[in-house]
Amino acid sequence: MKKLIITLVVIGAVVTGIILMLSDSSDGIYEEPVLNETDDEVAFVRRYVPSVTVTNVAYADSLQEVGRALISGDTLTTGNTGYAMVLFLDESIARVSPSSQMVIRSELNPERNLNLRTHVGMLLGGMFLDVESRPDREFEITTTRAVASVKGTRFGVTADDKIWVEEGEVEVTIRETGEVRLLVNKMYLQVDADGTVDSGELTDQELAELADEFQILESDLIEREMKIQFRNRSGDTVEEQIRVFEQSESSNE
């Protein structure tokens, strides 16, 4: 009898363990990868339209010129007119739309010249990426309800959990359910607040419209000071000063 009880307890414990294990995975608790982070530069801001700020524990810098280096742990924020093009060491490119915020973390190879594992935490806004396909590297983006693991692609992500692929492949894990979906050319996926997942295929026009938002970052930018002069009813001059960022006609990437 005692053996039976012990056997039942053991079985019960094993079953509970299995149930617990199963329930853990179904809760979708995502643990951010542990990266071997250093103070080395992991990316650069190649182009930008103000305002763009880079913050970390020790600083909060508003960008004044291109070429700003980013280290692992930096938070990049764009204002309501701001755009940024972030170039990683492995030549992956992230184009960040206005009113966005993300935390960039990356582990470099021993030579400190390539990103081995990159993790971008998308907190606000959106971005469009070109990521090189390399079997020995990881590139992962998390949103509130999804994790996009990139296999090498051109794709977009928004903080409100929309992911679309222009070309290539992205593996998306729904954080709440642990469900994994593979998105390929022209496919999109949207995780709603109630956990439902909407997915499908985008038309060429829809894809073009999504990519269009980042068009400003496709060429080097020239800053111009512009004064627009008006005359008021008294005949006096009223001047409005604005700054514009315009694509350079000579440089196209």
Partner 1 sequence: MVYKIFNSIVIMLAFSVAAVAQSSDMELDVRMDSGFSQKNLSEMFSAVIEQNNLSQFFQISAENRTRGILRNNSVILEIQSEVFGTILTAEQSSSGTFSLNPGGQITFSNLNITDISNLEIQGEPEFDLLITSNGRKLIQNLRRGYLISDDLFTLNVKIVRNLMNEEEILTQESISFQTSLDESELFIETDREIVDELRGLNVSTDAPEFSWIGEQNRPYRLLIIDTDRAQNVDALFSERFAREHSEGDIRNEQTGVVLDVMASQPSYQIPDRFAGLFEPGKTYAWQVQTTKQTVQETVVQAYTDRLQFTTSFPIEGEIRELLVNIFGEQRTNEFVENGLLLDQIEIDGVTYSKEEVLRVLREMAGKIEKNQLKVVS
Binding-site ranges for partner 1 (CB under 8 A) = 49-51, 81, 83, 212-216, 219, 224-233, 235, 237-238, 240, 242-247
- What gap in Å lies between CA 217 and CA 246, rounded to an integer? 10
- What gap in Å lies between CA 45 and CA 77, rounded to an integer? 12
* Of residues 18 and 244, the one with the C-beta less far from partner 1: 244
Nearest approach in angstroms of CB 221 to partner 1 is: 8
- Burial (0-12, 13-18, 19+ Cβ within 10 Å), 74: buried
Counting Cα atoms < 13 Å in the Cβ hemisphere of 130 gives 15
Nearest approach in angstroms of CB 211 to partner 1 is: 10
Instruction: Give the pairing of strands 101-108 and 115-124.
Output: antiparallel
* Of residues 194 and 212, the one with the C-beta less far from partner 1: 212
Amino acid at 114: L
Nearest approach in angstroms of CB 197 to partner 1 is: 30
Nearest approach in angstroms of CB 230 to partner 1 is: 4
Terminal C-alpha separation, the chain:
78
User: Is 96 in contact with 85 (CB distance < 8 Å)?
Assistant: yes
Burial 177-211 (b: 16+ CB within 10 A, else e): eeeebebeebbbbbbeeeeebeeeebeeeebeebb
Nearest approach in angstroms of CB 36 to partner 1 is: 38
* Of residues 4 and 230, the one with the C-beta less far from partner 1: 230
Nearest approach in angstroms of CB 91 to partner 1 is: 23
Query: For residue 42, which of 68, 62, 78 has the smallest C-alpha distance?
Result: 68
* Of residues 136 and 236, the one with the C-beta less far from partner 1: 236
* Of residues 160 and 220, the one with the C-beta less far from partner 1: 220
* Of residues 25 and 215, the one with the C-beta less far from partner 1: 215
Query: For residue 48, which of 91, 89, 95, 85 has the smallest C-alpha distance?
Result: 85
Amino acid at 68: R
Which structure tokens are listed for 12?
Answer: 């019960």
Nearest approach in angstroms of CB 164 to partner 1 is: 18
* Of residues 23 and 237, the one with the C-beta less far from partner 1: 237
